[in-house]
Amino acid sequence: MSASLNARIAQVFDEPGCELNQNKSDKERKKGCTRQLTPGAAAGGCAFDGAKIALQPIVDVAHLVHGPIACEGNSWDNRHSASSGATTYRTGFTTDINEFDVVYGGEKRLFKAIREIVEKAHPPAVFVYQTCVTAMIGDDVEAVCRRASERFGTPVIPVNSPGFAGPKNLGNKLGAEALLDHVIGTIEPERSTPYDINIIGEYNLSGELWQVKPLLDALGVRVLSCISGDGRYREIASAHRARANMMVCSKSMINVATRMQQRWGIPYFEGSFYGISDMSSTLREIARLLVERGAPAGLRERAEALIAAEEARAWERIRAYRERLAGRRVLLITGGVKSWSVVSALQEAGLVVVGTSTKKSTKEDKERIKEIMGDDAHMIDDMTPREMYAMLRDAKADIMLSGGRSQFVALKARMPWMDINQERHHAFAGYEGMVTMVAEIDKALFNPVWGEVRKPAPWEPADPLLAEVT
Ligand code: SF4
């Protein structure tokens, strides 16, 4: 690894905003935060993939992958990040290097690719992603980007996060570093108001940001930039003029929040859009921070009035499902805040949560589970697919909510399943999102297909005694 990449990784591994990181010794911190991967196990994405996931939701820029075509194919838009306008981000740009480039270097090809993109697509900026092969043959992506920016008069941003640098989470942070180094603070906004905030670490999956934005609009709070869901280059470049930052629960871009606090004195808080009580605390916190930073005090009262009205409406709508869903058992296999933040909405709809996974949850997450569910009997630290299957087959749960990777376990047990992780097709954020989630569970549970697939196949003898004889 080049010296500059090593230094950058060391910097990312020293994170003042992460308690866990700060409690480590210098030696432990150097090792980073990743667990050793088990050979043969599915390992999640590489660092390049992580950087791409973090930045691809910026919708009006061209994302150019400098490497073999498979890297781009591997990472292209697998998360349903939605755009309200520009669609440049959905075009897969790659230099698609070949054997000759490996021998002679791929810098010229990269320069030509940038020229072609600028001439044909006219994006406000081009993001260039380094990958394993081009990093190993020594292509100096940063130098090419500098030249191309000067030559074509368009910002060309190097994202130095080759796959071998580490896992996906590290890539998220290295992608964020590119924004901090080359984008944020480079443009002044046309106007700024005391109600301006940035939302950091929200990717607008299936349009979740749009479930939250109307609430902020109702309060008169302006999202100066969302980093990076439905993001625009100019907005992110002028994000340094916001009055407060909200960091969405996952710490994937915590370095943006801490660095913006250090550089421009913008305070931040960690909040979540999942779950009714969390949505309310987020709105409260936004109002509090903005008032502290000079917005009129009436904002806090407006926030309380909005919370009261929205909560009442959401509970009412969720309650409508109670009759059908009462007593149905849910197995929740997810991680982090979702391991508890959706539980109260499920309980309100009459569902019984028989277990929630805590593999990726922090100590605080576990405390919250205990608070909501009474004891730790419902916590599942690690569940093998075999155990999940047994639980569903023995009908200890009626539906499983999990990520796409475990869906086939449920389908094999002929039990309903719903995607609750990042590849989901429905938006579950804010008050509206919780109602959608309960409605989707209702649809999954009562889908007539379950009755059909559980019937014996026509060639199977219906009589169990006959089955024993044959
Ligand atoms: S590990 Fe390297 S080669 Fe594989 S997808 Fe990531 S960047 Fe590309």
Domain ranges for the chain: 3-182, 196-317, 322-425
* Site of tokens 């109702």: 218
Q: Whose CA is nearest to atom 6 of ligand 1?
A: 163
Contact 286, 246 (CB under 8 A): yes
Q: Vertex 121, ends 240 and 147: CA angle to 5°? A: 65
- Calculate how far, in angstroms, residue 46's C-alpha sits from the geometric centre of ligand 1: 6
Q: What is the DSSP string of 265-331?
A: ---EEEE--SSHHHHHHHHHHHHHHHHHTT--THHHHHHHHHHHHHHHHHHHHHHTTHHHHTT-EEE
Contact 209, 430 (CB under 8 A): no
**CA distances to 160, 196, 360, 394, 431 from 337, in Å:** 30, 26, 9, 28, 16
Question: What is the model's pLDDT at position 20?
Answer: 59
- Calculate how far, in angstroms, residue 130's C-alpha sits from the geometric centre of ligand 1: 10
Q: Vertex 384, ends 379 and 390: CA angle to 5°? A: 90
Q: Bridge-partner residues for 246, per DSSP?
A: 199, 269
Cα separation, 265 vs 226, in Å, equals 18
Task: Kindly give the number of the ligand 1 atom that is closest to the alpha carbon of 45.
Answer: 6
- Calculate how far, in angstroms, residue 69's C-alpha sits from the geometric centre of ligand 1: 10
Cα separation, 12 vs 6, in Å, equals 10
Three-class SS state of 334? coil
- Calculate how far, in angstroms, residue 240's C-alpha sits from the geometric centre of ligand 1: 32
**CA distances to 98, 108, 120, 147, 155 from 115, in Å:** 19, 11, 9, 11, 12
Task: Kindly give the number of the ligand 1 atom that is closest to the alpha carbon of 75.
Answer: 5
Cα Rg, the chain, nearest whole Å: 24
Single-letter amino acid code for the residue at 198? N
Burial of 265 (0-12, 13-18, 19+ CB in 10 A): exposed
Q: Whose CA is nearest to atom 5 of ligand 1?
A: 71
Question: What is the model's pLDDT at position 348?
Answer: 79
Q: Bridge-partner residues for 66, per DSSP?
A: 130
Task: Kindly give the number of the ligand 1 atom that is closest to the alpha carbon of 47.
Answer: 6
Q: Which CATH architecture has domain 322-425?
A: 3-Layer(aba) Sandwich (3.40)
**CA distances to 27, 219, 431 from 191, in Å:** 46, 19, 30
Which mutation among 37, 46, 95 tests ligand 1's pocket best, with the greatest number of atoms within 8 A of CB? 46
- Calculate how far, in angstroms, residue 64's C-alpha sits from the geometric centre of ligand 1: 14
HSE at residue 293, side-chain half, CA atoms within 13 A, is 20
- Calculate how far, in angstroms, residue 29's C-alpha sits from the geometric centre of ligand 1: 25
Q: Residue 164 has what DSSP assignment?
A: G
Q: Which CATH architecture has domain 196-317?
A: 3-Layer(aba) Sandwich (3.40)
Residue 459 structure tokens: 């060639």
Residue 274 structure tokens: 């999942």
3-182 and 196-317: same fold? Answer: yes
- Calculate how far, in angstroms, residue 32's C-alpha sits from the geometric centre of ligand 1: 20
Q: What is the pLDDT along the chain (470 residues), one digit of tens a residue?
A: 666 787 778 777 776 666 656 666 666 666 655 555 555 554 568 899 999 999 999 999 999 999 999 998 866 766 778 999 999 999 999 999 999 999 999 999 999 999 999 999 999 999 999 999 999 999 999 999 999 999 999 999 999 999 999 888 889 999 999 999 999 999 999 999 999 999 999 999 889 999 999 999 999 999 999 998 999 999 999 999 999 999 986 667 889 999 999 999 999 998 889 889 889 999 999 999 999 999 999 999 999 999 999 999 999 999 999 889 999 999 888 766 666 777 877 887 888 888 887 776 677 777 777 777 776 557 777 778 888 888 887 778 899 888 887 888 888 888 899 988 767 788 999 999 999 999 999 999 999 998 888 888 888 776 555 555 44
Which mutation among 131, 137, 170, 174 tests ligand 1's pocket best, with the greatest number of atoms within 8 A of CB? 131
* Site of tokens 């007539």: 448
Contact 115, 144 (CB under 8 A): no
CATH number of 3-182: 3.40.50.1980
Strand pairing report for 329-333 and 268-271: unpaired
- Calculate how far, in angstroms, residue 72's C-alpha sits from the geometric centre of ligand 1: 9
Three-class SS state of 333? strand
**CA distances to 353, 372, 387, 397 from 328, in Å:** 8, 18, 20, 8
Q: Whose CA is nearest to atom 1 of ligand 1?
A: 163
Question: What is the model's pLDDT at position 140?
Answer: 96
Cα separation, 357 vs 339, in Å, equals 6
Residue 142 structure tokens: 């940063």
What are the pocket residues of ligand 1 if the criterion is a CB atom closer than 6 Å to any ligand atom? 46, 48-49, 67, 71, 74, 131-132, 162-163
Q: Bridge-partner residues for 63, per DSSP?
A: 127
- Calculate how far, in angstroms, residue 148's C-alpha sits from the geometric centre of ligand 1: 24
Contact 260, 184 (CB under 8 A): yes
